[in-house]
Chains A and B, each alone.
Chain A
Amino acid sequence: DSGVTQTPKHLITATGQRVTLRCSPRSGDLSVYWYQQSLDQGLQFLIQYYNGEERAKGNILERFSAQQFPDLHSELNLSSLELGDSALYFCASSVDNRAFTNTGELFFGEGSRLTVL
């Protein structure tokens, strides 16, 4: 158990719909990362939030957005869903406290499997 909690574990929806995936990071971790893993794309970095602010952006579509709340949990919003958005969505967290020189360790949740029909 990594300590990172993702909900829901499974989600089935239709094209054009909107869904929200939720992530609770490990206690004390300030950074949250979102990754997408589809069969043909591997693990793709989407976005990172650090202590409520966007820190880095990867291959995230404009239809997707994320935020990190004051309690440090994060939500990934996926809208106007397409068949190609079907994938596993992973959240990861890390301390990223400036007091630490480096650990580099990201703790991943078990993912949310999204199926768009």
Chain B
Amino acid sequence: DAKTTQPPSMDCAEGRAANLPCNHSTISGNEYVYWYRQIHSQGPQYIIHGLKNNETNEMASLIITEDRKSSTLILPHATLRDTAVYYCIVRVGSSGSARQLTFGSGTQLTVLP
């Protein structure tokens, strides 16, 4: 699985958009980008994933560059409850295969009041 690079920490003002970058320059054509977050000592929570198209769900938007070498997770209106470590993970996705996720260090997002 491709390696990802994320900034160790970021701050965001409450109510503003939080844009979390992730670099995955060695991503392969069949690898997906997944985002999870972990609120202090709780179990990681799935946010969103995508292959090459931009994706949006009720939690966030995922913007993947055309060359797929980087992506940005966008939380449109950050709240204090969004303070967490955000993990960007790149992994092959196909049915029947071992599907474990390899977590890196992630980005500690702190939403400030």
Chain A interface residues (CB < 8 Å from chain B):
2, 4, 31, 33, 35, 42-45, 48, 55-56, 58, 88, 90, 92, 94, 96-111, 113
Contacts and interface: CB of A to CB of B under 8 A. Distances in A.
A104 B49 contact: yes
Given A42-B105, A105-B49, A106-B101, A98 B43 contact: no
B100 A2 contact: no
Contacts, number: 70
Interface stretch (B2-10, B13-21, B91-99): B91-99
Contacts of B91: 104
A4 B43 contact: yes
Contact of B98 (A48, A104, A113): A48
A60 B89 CA distance: 21
Interface of B: 32, 34, 36, 38, 41-46, 49, 87, 91, 93-96, 98-105
A100 B98 CA distance: 14
Contacts of A106: 36, 44, 46, 99, 101
B32 A104 contact: yes
B43 A102 contact: no
B93 A104 contact: yes
B36 to A, nearest CB: 8
Given A33-B100, A45-B101, A102 B44 contact: no
A43 B86 CA distance: 12
Contacts of A4: 43
Given A42-B103, A42-B105, A100 B46 contact: no
Contacts of B41: 88, 111, 113
